[in-house]
Amino acid sequence: MSQSRFQPGERVSVIRRYPHHHHRAPDYIKGRTGVIERLCGIFGNPETLAHHGDGKPEQPLYPVRFDVQHLWGPRAEQPNDTIEVEIYEHWLEPAA
Amino acid sequence: MSEEPYRPHHDLAGLEAGPVDRVEHNPAHWEKQVDAMLTLLSDEKRGLLRVDELRRGIESLGPQAYDELSYYERWIESIRLIMVEKGVVSEAEIAERIDALSKATP
């Protein structure tokens, strides 16, 4: 994959996918919606690199910004905070 | 690949964990050695260990070891696991070396 699918400012959702192999999308953002912050770069896929693979096809990596209230609800200590999580493109889909 | 919701043991973010320990810890000498070992094993010349493999090894330690081991103890257990898996060293060679070092150290 040589081109990135998403642009800064675009709303995306993290796919609800529960593989048992190594992956870099943490549970607390699965199914949640955020905003593409920027493109970090295009890197080997850690899911195959971790398991003797070659990391191909390479995956664009984006910091995605989430509102903490969307993630934690009333448990959010600072309701106006946001959090950026770096997510590989194959974990993202356009927000509904 | 399972689509049933599943949170692996190491995936802790958002769970109740009590107060954060904000005290600065000085790394012990052996911890610096573990850090150096990882740097050397993963450099361009050797290329024996990728950070993704290190993480996969840590995640495969099992819940009990994951909870009981310290940060660098998890690293060295994972390094050992991946190096044995790749045939760089054998468990027998590691055991021999540990045995020799324990005898040499009073």
Tens digit of each residue's pLDDT (9 = 90 or more) over B32-73: 999 999 999 999 999 999 999 999 999 999 999 999 999 999
- Mean pLDDT (whole number) for A44-70: 97
User: Pairing mode, if any, of strands A11-14 and A92-94?
Assistant: antiparallel
Q: A53 at the B interface (CB within 8 A)?
A: no
Nearest-CA residue of chain A relative to B16? Answer: A75
- Asked whether residue A46 is assigned to any structural domain, the reply reads yes
Q: B97 at the A interface (CB within 8 A)?
A: no
- Asked whether residue B91 is assigned to any structural domain, the reply reads yes
- Asked whether residue B32 is assigned to any structural domain, the reply reads no
Distance CA B44, CA B89 (A): 19
Give me the number of domains chain A comprises: 1
Predicted model pTM: 0.91
Q: How far is A21 from chain B (nearest CA, A)?
A: 8
Q: What is the pLDDT of residue B14?
A: 87
- Asked whether residue A2 is assigned to any structural domain, the reply reads no
Domain encompassing residue B79: 50-104
- Mean pLDDT (whole number) for A51-55: 96
Q: What is the pLDDT of residues A27-49, one digit of tens each?
A: 999 999 999 999 999 999 999 99
Q: What is the pLDDT of residue A44?
A: 97
Distance CA B103, CA B106 (A): 7
Distance CA A77, CA B39 (A): 37
Mutation choice for A interface testing from B1, B3, B52, B66 by most A CBs within 10 A: B52
Asked if the model's pLDDT at residue A1 lies above 80, the reply is no
Asked if the model's pLDDT at residue A19 lies above 50, the reply is yes
Give me the number of domains chain B comprises: 1
- Mean pLDDT (whole number) for B6-33: 92
Across the interface, whether the CB atoms of B6 and A28 are under 8 A apart is answered: no
Is the peptide bond between A60 and the residue preceding it cis, with omega within 30 degrees of 0? no
- Give the mean pLDDT of chain B: 94
Residues of chain B in contact with residue A18, where contact means CB-CB under 8 angstroms, are 1-6
